[in-house]
């Protein structure tokens, strides 16, 4: 399929590059680091070869979210966003941008998002999970009350917010001791992001701000396949769920969430997601440079789904959600 749009596609600036070291092993670090630092070279070649018209770019992980010094986090976010705005301006047909945000301070994050959307035309924000603030062991999740004015700004700007994974901090990761292979994309990324998203759904956030649009990657971080059980656990007891939200969790998932195919290139999984959340809420992505563009595109272009759904997921859903122009 030609004209695909991909939106979990990462880059790095020198100050954040080493945050991506170690995930894929030392042997591939020269290749991975080169991919992260490149924007207008090999990246465009890969896009051209595999039918990707536009990438929405975002900073690598955990980057800003792991900087517990609030002032420094704000500086790095601004530096990254300024750099990305310059790169997009060089080739806006091929590239668009998500803002990096210093959510250690919700007010600073709201102001930076406004700057990026209004001054640079960024299409939303991508944040790498919880933010460490003040001390390395202080982790802030975005359902907390201090973040609600930030979410008011997001709704007012009418831009999507991509909740991207990160690993749990070491102090909270005892379950993985002796099994480090479970960290990262194998399991911990999805588990961490799914719980964060469920906290947001159960907090009442979407009752207060019903027009929020949240994106999660990797075919939904396991959430589509758990929705029924989350809402129907031990239904025979008649006990109401103990959360602040007014509706079922699945209601918020269906109304306020979009998922991407990033790093999860399996047709059975895609079809399951389509049955749960619907083809209108699924978006093509690759997860370059951590995954290969050809793996994503070759799979998607031949997946056993209808051509109308392929066009929606590959292109028109993203055009509509991110206001990218003519579909």
SS3 58: strand
Q: What is the DSSP string of 207-262?
A: HH-TT--EEE-GGGTTGGGTHHHHHHTTGGG-PPP-SS-SS-HHHHHHHHEEEE-T
Q: Which of 105, 143, 287, 309 is catalytic?
A: 287
Among residues 38, 37, 50, 63, which one has the least CA distance to residue 6?
Answer: 50
Cβ-contact 106, 147 below 8 angstroms: yes
* Sequence-distant (≥ 6) Cβ neighbours of residue 317 within 8 angstroms: 258, 279, 280, 281, 282, 283
DSSP secondary-structure letter at 65? G
Annotated active-site residue 287? The verdict is yes
Beta bridge partners of 161: 125, 214
Longest CA span, the chain: 60
Q: Which helix (H) or strand (E) holds 128?
A: strand 125-128
Query: Catalytic site residues?
Result: 287
């Amino acid at each position: 399929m030609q004209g695909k749009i991909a939106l979990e596609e990462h880059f790095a600036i020198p100050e954040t590059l080493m945050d991506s070291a170690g995930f894929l092993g030392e042997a591939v670090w020269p290749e991975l680091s080169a991919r992260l630092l490149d924007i207008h070279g090999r990246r465009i070649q890969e896009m051209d070869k595999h039918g990707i018209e536009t990438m929405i770019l975002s900073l690598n992980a955990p980057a800003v979210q792991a900087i517990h010094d609030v002032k420094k986090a704000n500086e790095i976010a601004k530096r990254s966003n300024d750099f990305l705005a310059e790169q997009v301006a060089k080739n806006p047909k091929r590239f668009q941008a998500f803002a990096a945000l210093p959510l250690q301070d919700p007010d600073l994050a709201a102001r930076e998002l406004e700057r990026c959307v209004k001054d640079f035309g960024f299409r939303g924000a991508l944040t790498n999970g919880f933010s460490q603030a003040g001390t390395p062991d202080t982790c802030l999740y975005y359902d907390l009350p201090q973040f609600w004015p930030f979410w008011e700004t997001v709704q007012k700007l009418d831009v999507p917010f991509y909740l991207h994974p990160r690993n749990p901090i070491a102090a909270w990761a005892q379950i993985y001791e002796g099994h480090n292979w479970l960290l990262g994309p194998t399991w911990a990324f999805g588990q961490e992001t799914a719980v964060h998203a469920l906290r947001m759904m159960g907090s009442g956030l979407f009752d207060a701000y019903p027009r929020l649009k949240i994106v999660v990657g990797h075919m939904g971080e396991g959430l589509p396949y758990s929705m029924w059980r989350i809402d129907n656990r031990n239904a025979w007891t008649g006990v109401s769920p103990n959360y602040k939200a007014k509706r079922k969790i699945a209601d918020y998932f269906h109304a306020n969430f979009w998922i991407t195919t990033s790093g999860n290139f399996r047709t059975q999984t895609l079809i399951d997601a389509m049955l749960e959340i619907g083809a209108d809420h699924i978006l093509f992505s690759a997860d370059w440079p951590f995954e290969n563009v050809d793996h994503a595109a070759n799979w998607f272009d031949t997946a056993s789904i209808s051509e109308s759904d392929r066009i929606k997921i590959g292109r028109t859903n993203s055009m509509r959600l991110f206001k990218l122009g003519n579909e």
